[in-house]
Amino acid sequence: MDFVCAYAGRPATALTRRDVARALLAVPSGVALVELPDLRRAMMAAGNPLSLPFWDSAKATLSSIEAGVATVGDVQRWVESTGTEPILMTPSYFVWPEEDERGPVAAEMFARLVAYLEERVAAGEIDPDALAAGDREARAAYEELQERWLSTPLPDGRVPGAAVNDEQDAELFSAWDEEEAFALSELRRIVGELPKQPELPAAELDAAGARLRALLALPGYPANVLRACAGFEDHPMPDDDRELWLAVAAGIAGPISDLSENGDVLEEFADLEGELSAEDAALANLCAIQHADWLAGVAALARMGPGVLASPERMARLIAESEDIDLDIDDQDDDDIDATERLFASVVALWGYLGVVDEDDVLTPLGWWGLPKALERAWSPAPE
**Average pLDDT per run of 10 along the chain, which is 384 residues long?**
96 97 97 97 97 96 96 96 95 93 96 97 96 95 96 97 96 91 95 93 96 95 94 89 96 85 46 70 94 96 96 96 74 81 96 97 97 96 67
Give the model's pLDDT for residue 259. Answer: 72
Residue type, 378: A
> For 195-207, b where at least 16 C-beta lie within 10 A, e where not — what string?
eeebeebeebbee
Counting Cβ atoms within 10 Å, is residue 297 exposed (0-12), middle (13-18) or buried (19+)?
Answer: buried
> What DSSP line would sit under 145-206, residue for residue?
HHHHHHTSPPTTS--HHHHHHHHHHHHHHHHHHHHHHHHHHHHHHHHHT-SS-----HHHHH
pLDDT, residue 335, reads 85
**CA triple 27-30-36, angle to 5 deg:** 80
- Measure the CA angle with vertex 263, ends 257 and 267; round to 5°: 105
pTM for this prediction: 0.70
φ, ψ dihedrals at 188, nearest 5°: -65, -40
- How far apart are the two ends of the chain, measured CA to CA in Å? 59
pLDDT at 269: 43
Phi-psi region of 53 (alpha: psi -120 to 50; beta: other; left: phi over 0): alpha
Q: Cα dist. 169→107, 163, 373 in Å?
A: 15, 10, 29
Please say whether the beta carbons of 318 and 340 come within 8 A. no
According to the model, what pLDDT value does residue 235 have? 83
Burial of 63 (0-12, 13-18, 19+ CB in 10 A): middle
Q: Exposure pattern of 326-342 as b/e (b: 16+ CB <10 Å)?
A: ebeeeebeeeebeebbe
Q: Bridge partners of 309?
A: 362
Please say whether the beta carbons of 96 and 164 come within 8 A.
yes
3-state secondary structure of 49: coil
**pLDDT for res 266:** 43
